[in-house]
């Protein structure tokens, strides 16, 4: 019995250099798109922590408004810092009840890190010593966001970039 030899045929041993370069290029392109999107996602999740912490401030404003008191009454603004919100970072305006949330530098750079929650009643600004005649509506404002319909623009200027804010703040 004779064995046939395959002369000149070569079995493929692995990937060619061009195939490997194409795969590396595709992975690089996907990483270039995914990394910034992931960083924005992380920053938005950190902003959510501040909104959660501001819930107690919203309750204080609503209770004070219904009793006709100063709108910042009974809220301790000297709260301790968290990883994402500065110490004393949640403040209430005594006259208007606006809540400012100041975030740490891991969320946004200093000077570009405040979000504003504006209370209104029937399209008018909430006022100290005046009881509301309807439900309190809370509007969230980020940098560059115009006042909503049937609402009043915030007295303080928000500086947090809208891309980091939740959708209701844009």
CB 89 within 8 A of CB 77: no
Mean pLDDT of 71-90: 88
Q: What pLDDT, on a 0 to 100 scale, did the predictor assign at position 170?
A: 80
The fraction of the chain above a pLDDT of 90, given in percent, is: 58
How far is it, in rounded angstroms, from Cα 19 to Cα 24? 9
Task: Find the mean pLDDT for residues 65-93.
Answer: 89
Q: Of the ranges 102-106, 126-130, 161-165, which one carries the lowest mean pLDDT score?
A: 126-130
Quote the percentage of the chain above a pLDDT of 70: 93
3 pLDDT higher than 70 = no
pLDDT(11) > 90: no
Q: Higher confidence at residue 167 or residue 57?
A: 57
Report the 10 Å Cβ neighbour count for 84.
21
- pLDDT band of residue 5 (cuts 50, 70, 90) is low
Q: Is the pLDDT of residue 124 over 70?
A: yes
- pTM given for the model: 0.80
Q: Average pLDDT of 91-97? A: 93
> In which element (H, E) is residue 125 found?
strand 124-125
How would residue 6 be classed by pLDDT, with cut points 50, 70 and 90?
low
Is 130 a residue whose pLDDT tops 90?
no
């Amino acid at each position: 019995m004779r064995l046939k030899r395959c002369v000149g045929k070569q079995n493929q041993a692995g990937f060619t250099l061009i195939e490997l370069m194409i795969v590396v290029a595709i992975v690089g392109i996907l990483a270039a798109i995914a990394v910034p999107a992931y960083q924005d996602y992380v920053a938005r999740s950190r902003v959510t922590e501040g909104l959660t912490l501001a819930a107690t401030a919203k309750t204080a404003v609503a209770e004070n408004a219904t009793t006709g008191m100063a709108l910042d009454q009974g809220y301790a603004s000297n709260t301790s810092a968290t990883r994402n919100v500065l110490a004393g970072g949640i403040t209430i305006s005594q006259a208007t009840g606006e809540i400012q949330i100041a975030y740490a530098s891991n969320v946004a750079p200093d000077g570009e890190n405040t979000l504003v929650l504006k209370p209104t009643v029937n399209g008018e600004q909430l006022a100290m010593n005046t009881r509301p005649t309807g439900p309190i509506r809370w509007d969230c404002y980020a940098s560059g966001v115009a006042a909503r319909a049937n609402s009043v623009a915030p007295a303080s200027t928000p500086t947090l970039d809208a891309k980091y804010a939740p959708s209701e703040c844009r």
